[in-house]
Amino acid sequence: MDNTKLELSQKLYLETYGCQMNVADSEIVASVMRDSGYVITEDINEADIILVNTCSIRENAEQRVWGRLDVFKQIKKKKPELTVGVIGCMAERLKEKLIEEKKIIDLVVGPDAYRSLPELLETVESGQKAINVILSKEETYADISPVRLDKNGISAFISIMRGCNNMCSYCIVPYVRGGERSRNPQSIIAEAEDLFQKGYKEITLLGQNVDSYNWESENKNQPAGKQGETVKFAQLLEKVAKISPSLRIRFSTSHPKDMSDEVLFTMAMYTNICNHVHLPAQSGSTEILEKMKRGYSREWYIDRINAIRKILPDCAVSTDIMTGFSGETEENHKDTLSLMTFVNYDYAFMFKYSERPKTYASRHLKDDVTEEIKSKRLSEIIELQGSLSEKSKKADLGKVFEVLVEGTSKKSKDQLFGRNSQNKVVVFPKQDFKIGDYVFVKVTDCTSATLIGKGID
Ligand code: SAH
Ligand code: SF4
Ligand code: F3S
């Protein structure tokens, strides 16, 4: 593009909320927009278009976006030609209600309609509001090469599937993301290879339930010789791991009901597949898990943890816990605490149950645990996890880990930081090491959030 064209180009500012999948989607959006001539800016004040990629998982996730929309309104007051678009899960959930609620919104686009963004923006340009919230059974954006918005150039996300078929009773995701579909493995490998060639050293394969990844090529007009191949998650992992031993592979999220020993054996076979499983438990009580329609019991979950411990002795395990779900008693809550202690999680994301419209729980189960009790239980869970996380870090003192360097420490330019295979952040003196290096670091100390050590040759 020459300079005059650049000056004429509209500038896009993208803001992202929610899970890693939304982060990956914003990179798809950036790609679609760039291909039709828009330039990405990091300065909201020079934007011609603001797109906010939103999350609906809990009510407070949506509140945050409403707050941002008020800020955008102030910007638009000074710059009436500014276009404001809401995209992602909240766009899908609220549809035209968003435009009715906030007049400053010009554009509403759901997660499966990003290809239509340039066309919709033309509609907006002609003075109309534009909306596309059609969900798709096929869309995986397989052919779109994401524009990497992260700055480190070392680690990147790759979406391997979209949507979810599980219908956990509390969850909005199946409603805002549609049914589950797996992406063509060849396009996943090609994207990973391309990243590796560009110097990336770590990729994270993303899906709401990676263990149910399932690609059947016979339905997809594959060339002769390739017909009839079925690729499950374990095989996909292996294919990606084979790209290069110096490309690290991570993945998220594993689902306790579907996580197979085969996946664990594949992890054990390839040292570049990181020793970390994020296995959301949600609750330690079988009674609550049943109400949540999670598809497993406490015993089943423990069996999966035992399988991890047996097949991958050095594997870190993290989780998501939700407290205060419908009917949760003090005893159910204690079951969650005891499960956490049993598993010894390395870290956890912990939430209060937030009722979401349309879900099975909102239609059939009372949100009957008081806010006060939810808060009390959440603090107990957070406190317990605090001590487990500390224990997990103290257990690493004296050990040597291979760390992939991601950047310079925020606290000191003489220190680097990176992660070990177990996904723990490690900080150590810079010496002659640089970003993208694999460094063996001996752990000598730790804080509540990081391991501290020194690089060894
Ligand atoms: N697909 C992943 C979870 C995606 S949502 C899985 O099945 O594990 C991320 C986390 O948000 C969930 O694990 C759950 O702990 C939390 N969450 C989902 N719906 C919620 C709700 N209605 N209220 C509070 N937390 C919720
Ligand atoms: Fe939601 Fe359950 Fe699907 Fe996870 S598996 S996204 S919690 S419905
Ligand atoms: Fe939120 Fe949508 Fe992810 S609801 S958690 S951004 S799939």
Residue 140, ligand 2, Cβ within 6 A: no
Q: Which pTM was predicted?
A: 0.96
Q: How sure is the predictor about 221, in pLDDT bands with cuts at 50, 70 and 90?
A: low
Q: Which fold has domain 400-456?
A: OB fold (Dihydrolipoamide Acetyltransferase, E2P) (2.40.50)
Q: Is the dihedral of CA 38, 40, 46, 50 positive or negative?
A: positive
Residue 152 confidence class, pLDDT cut points 50, 70, 90: confident
234 CB-side CA count, 13 A: 12
- The 10s digit of each residue's pLDDT in 64-106 is 999 999 999 999 999 999 999 999 999 999 999 999 999 999 9
80 Cα–ligand 3 center, Å: 30
CATH code: domain 3-132 is 3.40.50.12160
Counting from 1 in the atom list of ligand 1, the atom nearest the Cα of 164 is 1
Q: Sorting pLDDT into bands at 50, 70 and 90, what band is 242?
A: very high
For residues 275-279, average pLDDT: 98
For ligand 2, atom 1, the nearest C-alpha belongs to 171
SS3 for 179-205, per residue? CCEECCHHHHHHHHHHHHHCCCCEEEE
State which amino acid sits at residue 136: S
What's the confidence (pLDDT) of residue 107?
98
Residue 203 has pLDDT above 80, yes or no: yes
Distance 47 CA to ligand 2 centre (A): 35
The band of 179, judged by pLDDT with boundaries at 50, 70 and 90, is very high
Confidence at residue 222, expressed as pLDDT on a 0 to 100 scale: 56
Give residue 173 CA to ligand 3 midpoint distance, Å: 6
The whole-number pLDDT of residue 226 equals 57
The preferred substitution site among 162, 171, 362 for testing ligand 1, maximizing ligand atoms within 8 Å of CB, is 171
Q: What b/e readout covers 403-427, taking b as 16+ CB neighbours within 10 angstroms?
A: bbbbeebeeeeeebbbbbbbbbbbb
| Mean pLDDT of the 277-305 span | 98
CA of 181 to the centre of ligand 1 (A): 19
CB atoms within 10 A of CB 342: 13
Q: Per-residue pLDDT for 177 more than 90?
A: yes
Rounded distance from Cα 14 to ligand 3 centre (Å): 16
Domain extent listing, the chain: 3-132, 155-394, 400-456
**CB 205 near ligand 3, within 6 Å:** no
pLDDT reported for residue 117? 98
Using an 8 Å Cβ cutoff, are 291 and 365 in contact?
A: yes
Residue nearest to atom 4 of ligand 2 (CA): 208
pLDDT value at residue 227: 62
Q: What is the pLDDT of residue 244?
A: 98
Mutate to test the pocket of ligand 1, among 90, 320, 328, 336 (most ligand atoms within 8 A of CB): 320
Q: Which ligand is nearest to the CA of 254?
A: 1
**CATH T-level assignment (fold) for domain 155-394:** pyruvate-formate lyase- activating enzyme (3.80.30)
Mean pLDDT of 137-149: 95
Mutation pick for ligand 1 pocket among 55, 279, 351 (CB with most ligand atoms within 8 Å): 351
Q: Which of 62, 173, 175, 206 to mutate to test the pocket of ligand 3 (most atoms within 8 A of CB)?
A: 173
Left, alpha or beta for 228 (phi > 0: left; psi -120 to 50: alpha)? left
How does pLDDT run across 1-53, given as a tens digit for each residue?
A: 555 555 579 999 999 999 999 999 999 999 999 999 999 999 999 999 999 99
Asked if the model's pLDDT at residue 412 lies above 60, the reply is yes
Q: Would you say the CB of residue 26 lies under 6 angstroms from ligand 1?
A: no
DSSP 107-119: EEE-TT-GGGHHH
